[in-house]
Amino acid sequence: MPDQPAVVLLRRRRLVDATALTPAVRRSAWQWLRRPLTIQAGLSALQADLIQRGLLLSVGLYRYCASLSAPALAGFGQALLELLDAESGFDAQHTPLFRGFPESVPGDTESFYVNRVFARLLQEPDQPCVLCGDTTSVHAVSPCAHLVCRTCWDGSDFSACPLCLRRIDPDAPFLKPSVEDDQPAHVRSDRLRLLSLATADSVRQTIESLLARRAPLSAQDRADLQVLLTVASSAWLPEDIPVRETKALVIAHFLADDPDLIDRADTPTDVLRLIYALMDADPGLRTPPARRKSLPRATRRLVVERLDRMPVETLVEDLFRHERGWKRIAENLHPFEFASRFPVAALAFAILRRTELDLGTPAGRAVAGEASRHPLVRVEQGRLVLTTYGSRVESSFAQGRPDQALDLLRQRPGELVRRLVQLARALEPEHHAALVDALTTAVSDVSPAVITAALGQVRTPPGDLRLFFPRGGTARIWTAVDGREPLPAALAAELSAVLTGEMLRRATGLPRWRRAFLDEELARLAAPGSERSTSASLLRMTRGSAVPIPQDELLRLFLHWVQPDERRIDLDLSVAVFDEEWGFVGLCDYTRLRFDEDALVHSGDLTSAPAPQGSTEFVDVDLRAVRRVGGRYLLPVVFSYNDVPFDELERGFVGVMRQPSGLFDPAAVEDRFDLAGPAKILLPFGVDLHTKELRWYDVNLGAAGYGHNLRRYAGQLGLMSATLEEVHGSGDRASLWEICCWHAAARTDEIAVRCADGSVVGYRRGAGEELAAYARRVTARLEPDRSWDSDAAARADFVAVLSGDVAVRPGAEVYALHPRLLDRASVALIDAPHLLAVLAPDSRARTGVRVS
């Protein structure tokens, strides 16, 4: 089923759009059935299937199902299970190379490899087997036609040709039936999650929550929004959509029906984002339109007219900020066609394209006449030039005049906060007070996401390496030696106090709570930020976040992919092991199927994935055994061995299960990443056996050529991961815990905190205690004021926990990374971006719907 609003609601919010999933059934089709008995049996069967997937029906959804006819219930259940299985990956046929994995994986990978090569090179038709000498057991397999001895190679264990490891015809005589694993009979109670019934407002609430985000959406979120907009109305749109990429998508969707929406494109770059969205390209402007789509003349005139109403300096500056994009678009926009009616837009494009003035044409005369009205525009060698604001700022830094740059940046608060660390390092001590004063004035107009990013930069001291996340279609990062000088401690403290104080001030304007309940494990989760390049996944966590894992748990990594017709794609799932100092200890991949016997076990290398079955590779990870041999860090990696980018796959995903029952246990799926984009190497996460954390990386490495594998990239992977751990594990960056503490300290005088050992302590704001001091006590988890009952969450108006395993008061606002059995019908489940969105400087953004 293609993405529909029902699919989006189920994936994002665990809400079931019953109307969309229930088929229409005439009474005559079921009137012969004994309704009560049949419905009860159908409900029992549906609940059993859902429990095997780690899900339960809420009370409201159960009552809805009980009201259906038997055929309608059957159709509803089938549609629901299909959506859930597609989401977890359970709908795919997961058959590893060794069908008896992990028990049947050979211990001696080298002998297995030598036998394969020996048989492939020397075996001749109608000749005895070169390995065992049997004269009757050698036959060709389809479609690769390799000669395989059915005595040496067990057809009940292999799922592919044992010589080339490519998938073969499922009906080939070589393949023999194997014993299939039964479905697991028991699902751990801590893995159960609740499905709730969607309401008439669910789509609108989900749209409003996405539009209220204060940071760019991920590709998956953008796709979800576009699906939901197909059943939306422009009347639903809020007055303010803070993220400009999101705003461009929305305007593009409704522009044909409501041309006045173009006035919401406040800047020239907003207009460029809109044009990209109209051309079905990325409104984040990271990649140009794949094909040149011609815009209708009415749309072009509408766009040029909007540009014409903007100030010349701002217009030209934004055109140069995205020079290549605008020059490309100008070929489609034809701005000089409208020069007489819209001379400001024509002037800006003349400056951008360095067009030579031709006063003999109407367009040239219109441009020259408009240029004469602007003192910043001058003529050099027959072409128009303008000195922009950005160039003046950069010149000030280049000339060693950071005080002058500070004066210029006061005009643009957001840019000042983004360049805060650069200014702090460049300014002399006598100008530090001026910087603090400028920040104090500017910060009230700045997005909370920009404030949290600046706070992390101010607090983070220079390290051995720096980490760079450039804009791009995938999260390709690199590191460089950090040679910067540290910020003066006093200045860093003052700047941090201003930034934190502003967030507390904004939180005080929100509705009060009687009590808040916080989980200190939230300190592992990074504060929400830009999600532009994040992979589509089940859990929505910011890159750098970590979740706790038991020391003795078994992890099963899985990789599944389906290649397009007539294109072979060979993906490999591999795991690298590093020690305490990031020294390479060993690996488990197609060259070594077992590491330290059973510490790591690979299911076998498959080198093709023809549709519809595709291919699946697994790696079992015994954390305790890896720790025993000196391993501390585990890095799972997906390689495109034959250098085909992921975006050419028909389907592809990688994920992790915790303590699975059976080969693929959907209830045990912890998270799943889609393979997409031009990347060829994906590092989804890393495991630290010392801190017992699984940290989400979701980054790609650059690759070129053929034969990508773990041995080739082990050094780069170790360096990249060490830097990621240094940056994200230091605790200097803003965390979700800190954001929750800002809310709690500003909105209630009683805060209960669940500690890592399960105990609950309480903090009370003392009489006359300053808000900043109170917030600092809670954030730093200093000596609490008292111990608290374990049921404190049941008496709190706001609950923020890693896992929704606590009793919660009906009507409470709840953030839970894993909602578990929390019912959306009784509590207001919110997501992490919402906690930042309500801290927006514009009060209009504080009225967003609280949904996840």
- Residue 311 counted as domain residue: yes
Specify the number of domains making up the chain.
5
271 and 369: one domain? yes
355 and 461: one domain? no
Which DSSP string do the residues of 699-721 spell out, in sequence order?
EE----SS---HHHHHHHHHHHH
Residue found under tokens 């005369």: 365
The model's confidence at residue 636, banded by pLDDT at 50, 70 and 90, is very high
**Predicted local confidence at residue 850, as pLDDT:** 39
- Residue 125 counted as domain residue: no
The last residue of a domain, from among 365, 389, 413: 389
Whether residue 388 has pLDDT greater than 80: no
The model's confidence at residue 214, banded by pLDDT at 50, 70 and 90, is confident
The model's confidence at residue 847, banded by pLDDT at 50, 70 and 90, is very low
494 and 515: one domain? no
- Residue 452 counted as domain residue: yes
Record the pTM. 0.86
718 and 625: one domain? yes
- Looking at every residue in the chain, the average pLDDT score rounds to 86
361 and 433: one domain? no
Better-predicted residue by pLDDT, 828 or 337: 828
648 and 794: one domain? no
- Return phi, psi of residue 793, to 5°: -65, -30
Helix then strand then coil, % of the chain, to nearest 5: 40, 20, 40
226 and 261: one domain? yes
276 and 383: one domain? yes
- Return phi, psi of residue 585, to 5°: -100, -45
For residues 31-58, give the mean pLDDT.
77
- Residue 141 counted as domain residue: no
Whether residue 6 has pLDDT greater than 50: yes
- Residue 531 counted as domain residue: no
606 and 752: one domain? no
Q: What residue numbers bound the domain in which 15 lies?
A: 5-94+186-197
Residue found under tokens 């229409």: 24
- Residue 166 counted as domain residue: no
Contacts of 624 (CB under 8 A, 6+ apart): 551, 552
Contact (Cβ atoms closer than 8 angstroms) between residue 721 and residue 686? yes
For a pLDDT cut of 70, what percent of the chain falls above it? 93
**Predicted local confidence at residue 642, as pLDDT:** 92
- Residue 230 counted as domain residue: yes
463 and 476: one domain? yes
The last residue of a domain, from among 729, 759, 776: 729
In Å, how far are 278, 440, 816 from 221, measured between CA atoms? 18, 34, 19
**Predicted local confidence at residue 849, as pLDDT:** 38
**Predicted local confidence at residue 34, as pLDDT:** 44
- Residue 574 counted as domain residue: yes
What CATH number corresponds to the domain at position 587?
2.60.60.30
Whether residue 108 has pLDDT greater than 70: yes
**Predicted local confidence at residue 755, as pLDDT:** 92
Q: Of 161-165, 395-399, 774-778, where does the model show the most confidence?
A: 774-778
* Rounded Cα distance, 654 and 569, in Å: 15
**Predicted local confidence at residue 355, as pLDDT:** 83
564 and 705: one domain? yes
In Å, how far are 182, 393, 504, 769 from 420, measured between CA atoms? 59, 13, 20, 30
* Rounded Cα distance, 381 and 722, in Å: 53
Whether residue 686 has pLDDT greater than 70: yes
Contact (Cβ atoms closer than 8 angstroms) between residue 606 and residue 643? no
Residue closest to 586 by CA, chosen among 625, 624, 634: 634
Sign for the pseudo-dihedral over CA of 639, 103, 547, 531:
positive
